[in-house]
Structure 1
Amino acid sequence: MLRFAHIDYLWGLLLIPVFILLFIVVSRWKSKAVKSLGDRSVVNLMIPDVSFSRPWLKFILFTVAYAFLLIGAADPQIGSKMEEEKRKGADLMILLDVSNSMLSQDLVPNRLENAKRAIAQLIDNLHTDRIGIIVFAGEAYVQLPMTTDYSAAKLFLNTINTNMVPTQGTAIGSAIDLGMKSFDFKDGTGKAMIIITDGENHEDDAVAAAKNATDKDVTVHVIGVGSPEGAPIPIYQNGKQVGFHTDSAGKTVVSKLNEDMGKEIAAAGNGAYVRATNANSGLGIVMDQIGKIQRKTIDSKNFKDFEDRFQFFIGFAFLLLVIEFFISNRKSQRLSNLKLFEVKKT
């Protein structure tokens, strides 16, 4: 397994296209300056020792060396040994509403982004529990299967948006049923769901689904995002807000938090209901409740004994820089005197 100890350094690779662009601009400027002196063949006779190809070679060597230096600084590591760990934990499934109403801005910056930030903080505080993510609107999909790889969980979380589910609606019951299918009930670990939704346009029988979940000892918690007063649903085009959703009469649609529905589902699922605010996501209260569920020993395989490989990249970059340093911008007299293809007159 390959990983980088300091992956942020790799952002420096984005400067390479800038270097290339600047070098091309400067090269064209020099070429125009030479042409302005007169006929190219005459100019070449005036400056016979100047090489027009070596600067390109030096630039290529420098750029490749720069890339290898950054990769070396990021410290690539290879996992040389896989070990099986035993840890006590529980299974936690996040059910996240991604319907258009989650773009309403009564939470900062909007309901969905506020919820994603809270989930990211939750993942940072996990140590032994497995986590999975299901996204839903009019339909439900597994975004992240149950895992202990918290880095992967955050990567998948960052990709979530309202365009992931084409069918609009709030199919909470379907999301709960899908979550139940995603659990492995053979391992005997404690299990819980956290539904994060505004409850807008609630469609199926989520209360019945929550009751069915409790039959298998799965608790269902609900975090309501939004406000009872509501907020309009923005419309975006090419990343810019261009207006708000309207109904058939042309009036702006206001999306309001359906707290009654959230409380009913939480009660049916033997869980807690919390309304999120800008100051409190509500996940802390829910996690206190989840902390009480039974945790059993689970097995997980992880790479151990990662070995650094930065030496090869740093060494190769240094070699390229040494070669680049000793390449002159002038033509080599020795090579110029070797007129291998000159035809001698007899």
Structure 2
Amino acid sequence: MFRFDNPIYLWLLLLIPLSVIIYLHSVRLHKRRMIRFGDPTLVHQLSPMISRKREWVKFVLMEMGLLLLILIVARPQVGSKIASNKEREGIETIIALDISNSMLAEDVAPSRLEKSKLLVENLMDKFSEDKIGLIVFAGDAFVQLPITSDYVSAKMFLDNINPSLIGTQGTDIGKALQLSMNSFTPNSKVGKAIILITDGEDNEGGAEDMAKQAYSKGIKVFILGIGSKEGAPIPMPDGSELKTLNGELVKTRLNEEMCKQIATAGHGVYVHVNNNSTADAVLTRELSKLQKGKINNVVYSDFDEQFQALALLAVILLIADVLLLERKRRW
């Protein structure tokens, strides 16, 4: 099994396209300055030793070195020791967790998001023979952890979940359900369920159709609606609360009716999560009704670091960048 031990650092990969944009902009500005300075052909003849191709090569080397350094910081690892590998009877569950900014509201202690993470962790503690996967979503959705029976890794990935993982705000439940459907194994003899945790606010639409499509494939959809109908303000990183351009306080409220409709379409169960909720007990009872099938569980206890080759290649690229001059060789 391959994984990144610090996947949060992979967001630094956004620096690469940003640096490319900045570099191209600087090249454009340089050309404009040269045109104002004089005739481009004459200016080029006055500096025959300057190589534009070498500038490009040096930039590419720097970008490749940056890419490798980011991957090294994220700590790529490969499972080296299998703790267990045997066929068991269980189900497959994909947990889709809403991480939009509204999930930071504190009408559920300590917050909607932290309460959701605690709930998922409690569910994992009750799983033994099953497989689990993690998907996070807001205005977009992506797989945080492919379906696995390695609960230790699942809890580790769960700890790293926060709203900064997705820049697109909103609550696209339809996209989350579609990605969840595509994240199961092809085993048709195993009971499958999607557990979607959300406050249901700002839904982009299409969620009910996706829930119906999931059920047609033998996948039940359970919805955990977290929050209160009264609503709560959204805390900001600086300690203030989110307000509109007019200075009015923004309140986020649980869209319980929409959550119930999606659960009904997916032939699952809707559970309201609040400070007094026993949602994990209800879910455990409902999941126990699903058909158990034979699944191959592989759990790794040890992981080997895989940064050595990347580090060597990064050093070679950086040395090449330093040694390669922008001036042409005389010969």
- Return the TM-score normalized by structure 2: 0.65
Query: 1:289 — aligned with what?
Result: 286
Question: For the residues of structure 2 that align with 1:292 and 1:233, how far apart are their CA atoms?
Answer: 37
Query: 1:300 — aligned with what?
Result: 297
Query: 2:242 — aligned with what?
Result: 245
Asked if the contact 2:150/2:299 (under 8 Å) is kept, the reply is no
Larger Rg: 1
Map of 1:90-239 to 2, 5 A cutoff? 90-237=91-238
SS across alignment from 1:235: coil
Which string of whole-angstrom CA distances, capped at 9 and with x for unpartnered residues, describes residues 77-132 of structure 1?
Answer: x9877763110010001010000000001000110001101111111111001000
What amino acid sits opposite 1:88 in the alignment?
A: E
Which string of whole-angstrom CA distances, capped at 9 and with x for unpartnered residues, describes residues 137-184 of structure 1?
Answer: 000010011000000000000000011110000000000000011111
| Structure 1 residues 83 and 267, CA gap change in structure 2 (3 angstroms) | closer
Question: For the residues of structure 1 that align with 2:250 and 2:146, how far apart are their CA atoms?
Answer: 35
Asked if the contact 2:190/2:293 (under 8 Å) is kept, the reply is yes
Structure 2 residue 261 is the aligned partner of structure 1 residue 260 = no
Question: For the residues of structure 2 that align with 1:79 and 1:144, how far apart are their CA atoms?
Answer: 19
| Structure 1 residues 171 and 88, CA gap change in structure 2 (3 angstroms) | same
Q: Which runs of 4+ in 1 moved over 4 A?
A: 78-83
Asked if the contact 2:225/2:270 (under 8 Å) is kept, the reply is yes
Alignment size in residue pairs: 225
Which string of whole-angstrom CA distances, capped at 9 and with x for unpartnered residues, describes residues 236-276 of structure 1?
Answer: 13xxx2x1111132100000000000000000000000101
Asked if the contact 1:210/1:265 (under 8 Å) is kept, the reply is yes
Query: 1:28 — aligned with what?
Result: none
Q: CA deviation at 1:279?
A: 2.0
What amino acid sits opposite 1:269 in the alignment?
A: G
SS across alignment from 1:163: helix
What amino acid sits opposite 2:156 in the alignment?
A: L
SS across alignment from 2:107: coil
SS across alignment from 1:141: strand
- Return the TM-score normalized by structure 1: 0.62
What amino acid sits opposite 1:207 in the alignment?
A: E
Structure 2 residue 270 is the aligned partner of structure 1 residue 269 = no
Q: Percent identity?
A: 42
Query: 1:332 — aligned with what?
Result: none
Question: For the residues of structure 1 that align with 2:189 and 2:87, how far apart are their CA atoms?
Answer: 14
Asked if the contact 2:149/2:299 (under 8 Å) is kept, the reply is no
Q: CA deviation at 1:290?
A: 1.3
The runs of 5 or more residues in structure 1 that have no matched partner are: 2-77, 307-346
CA RMSD of aligned residues (A): 2.0
SS across alignment from 2:132: strand
Asked if the contact 1:174/1:204 (under 8 Å) is kept, the reply is no
Map of 1:317-332 to 2, 5 A cutoff? none
| Structure 1 residues 135 and 80, CA gap change in structure 2 (3 angstroms) | closer
Asked if the contact 1:223/1:283 (under 8 Å) is kept, the reply is no
Question: For the residues of structure 2 that align with 1:100 and 1:192, how far apart are their CA atoms?
Answer: 26
Question: For the residues of structure 2 that align with 1:118 and 1:83, how far apart are their CA atoms?
Answer: 26
Query: 2:85 — aligned with what?
Result: 84
Asked if the contact 1:100/1:168 (under 8 Å) is kept, the reply is yes
SS across alignment from 2:247: coil
Question: For the residues of structure 1 that align with 2:300 and 2:160, how far apart are their CA atoms?
Answer: 26
What amino acid sits opposite 1:126 in the alignment?
A: F
What amino acid sits opposite 1:100 in the alignment?
A: N
SS across alignment from 2:168: coil
Query: 2:66 — aligned with what?
Result: none
Question: For the residues of structure 2 that align with 1:150 and 1:178, how far apart are their CA atoms?
Answer: 21
Question: For the residues of structure 1 that align with 2:106 and 2:300, how far apart are their CA atoms?
Answer: 42
Asked if the contact 1:108/1:114 (under 8 Å) is kept, the reply is yes
What amino acid sits opposite 1:145 in the alignment?
A: P
